[in-house]
Amino acid sequence: MYDKLRRSRRLDAVQSGCFALSIVKQGDLMLVANVGDSRVVLGTAFNDDTINVIQLIVHLMPNMPQE
């Protein structure tokens, strides 16, 4: 894919994008920051084969009151 993009004279950027994600954990404190269109969830697996999932990023849209 990378070689195809390098050879192309025209780039279709309709579905292009970028994001950055940073997670810093110190003891019981976890700081999560993101830029761009990304989703972050934290999954924890337990010995009884269950998984707990927590959404860490709230996806905001321009039409939402909290935005």
Residue of 56, 54, 16 lying closest to 36 (CA atoms) = 16
In angstroms, the CA 67 to CA 44 distance is 29
pTM across the whole model = 0.45
Q: What is the pLDDT tens value at each position of the chain, 67 positions in all?
A: 678 777 777 767 776 777 888 888 899 998 888 887 777 788 899 999 999 999 887 777 778 777 6
Looking at residue 2, what DSSP letter applies?
H
